[in-house]
Amino acid sequence: MKAQVEEEQEIKQISEEAHSPWHEAWKRLKKNKLAMIGLGITTVLLIVAIFAPIIAPYNPRYAPVIEDGKVELSLQGPSWAHPFGTDKLGRDIFSRVVYGARISLMVGLITQGIALVLGITLGAIAGYYGGLIDEAVSYLIQVFLAFPFILFAIAIMAVFSEPGVDKVFLALGLISWPPLARIVRGQVMSIKEEEYIEAAQSLGASDFRIIVKHVIPNSLAPIIVTVTLGVAGAILAEAGLSFLGLGTQPPRPSWGVMLKTGQEYIRSYPYMIWFPGLAIMIAVMGINLLGDGLRDALDPKMKD
């Protein structure tokens, strides 16, 4: 048993603590500056969204009641009291942008949540079982991907008699799953040929157990990347729908709604669209940077 003792020592030299594959990915992510900027922006976005009531100095939906019914605060440029200025109704644009982060993030997360459930379920079943089920699911994916994303979203929103943010969740969720399903399907198809899947089968593991415990954990990396990029896409789509009047409805402070109301004043009061526009740009850019960084960090072939 001398060899065994030697082996143990060898292992000790390799590592003092356990290194999960996630730990390694985090180390790679930390080295990527752009990804860290993305992570920073995303974190700020999250904090702003969660603590909106604390951060925002004014009510985002209603202007303060002014004596004598005068709307003195209407259409003010940026100032110390109103860093982003006020809109026509005298509402503080800074507060509205802060609350807008809430809506945007909620849209991003909820739609991607729906997409995750649909995409993983359909993709995993198609990839694992193959055959007719696979052909049916693949066909459905093709059909969904054949429509331009925003046009499809408009079409679905048009079905509802009254647009609103809750319908945006549903519409975007229903059309965001195909790319995810396609990726999961491909991953499952390659992973199911791995020897450890065969090992699990020889142990008597059920299909459900194999998919949940072996296949999905090993395809998490591309899923995470797709979902992250999907959040950014959904934020952009919501802004687009709201701008067209088919998404979030006023007085809810969605960034898209703010752009829509601001466009009337684009010549005289351009600051009204600067700030929501910048917010959309920075949020989407930040999340995309994070997504790209995650892709590099999670890809095991990129090991340096």
Partner 1 sequence: MADNILEVNNLKKHFPINGGIFKRQVNSVKAVDGLNFNVKRGETLGLVGESGCGKSTTGKVLLRLLDATEGEVKFEGRDIHKLDKKDLRSLRKEMQMIFQDPYASLNPRMTVAEIVGEPLDIHNLAKGKEKEERVRELLDMVGLSSKFAKRYPHEFSGGQRQRIGIARALAVDPEVIVCDEPVSALDVSIQAQVINLMEDLQDELGLTYIFIAHDLSVVRHISDRVAVMYLGKIVELADKDDLYDTPKHPYTKALLSAIPVPDPQRQREKIILEGDVPSPINPPSGCTFHTRCPYAEDICKQEEPVFEEKGEDHLAACHFTDKLE
Residues that bind partner 1 (CB under 8 A): 1, 3-4, 7-8, 10-11, 14-15, 18-21, 194-196, 198-206, 209, 213-214, 217-218, 220
The distance of closest approach from Cβ of residue 49 to partner 1 in the complex, given in angstroms and rounded to an integer, is 31
Q: How far is the CB of 36 from partner 1 (least distance, A)?
A: 25
Q: Which CB, 166 or 207, lies closer to partner 1?
A: 207
Q: How far is the CB of 201 from partner 1 (least distance, A)?
A: 6
Between CA 64 and CA 60 the distance in angstroms is 10
Cα–Cα dist 244/239, whole Å: 9
Q: Closer CB to partner 1, residue 216 or residue 236?
A: 216
Peptide bond into 251 cis (omega under 30): yes
CB of 159 to partner 1, least distance (A): 39
Give Cα 20 distance to the centre of its chain. 25
> Which tokens go with 37?
């900027």
Burial of 270 per CB tally in 10 Å (0-12, 13-18, 19+): exposed
- Spell out the alpha helix ranges (H) of 51-194: 52-55, 93-129, 131-146, 149-159, 165-191
Q: Which is nearer to partner 1, 174 or 200 (CB)?
A: 200
Q: Between residues 31 and 213, which has the closer beta carbon with respect to partner 1?
A: 213
- We find the least distance from the C-beta atom of residue 132 to partner 1, in angstroms, to be 12
Identify which of 113, 126, 114, 148 has the alpha carbon closest to the alpha carbon of residue 240. 148
Longest dimension (CA), the chain: 93
φ, ψ dihedrals at 92, nearest 5° = -70, 115
Q: Which is nearer to partner 1, 197 or 259 (CB)?
A: 197
Q: How far is the CB of 297 from partner 1 (least distance, A)?
A: 16
Closest to partner 1 by CB, 215 or 259 = 215
Rounded-to-integer distance, Cα 112 and Cα 152, Å: 16
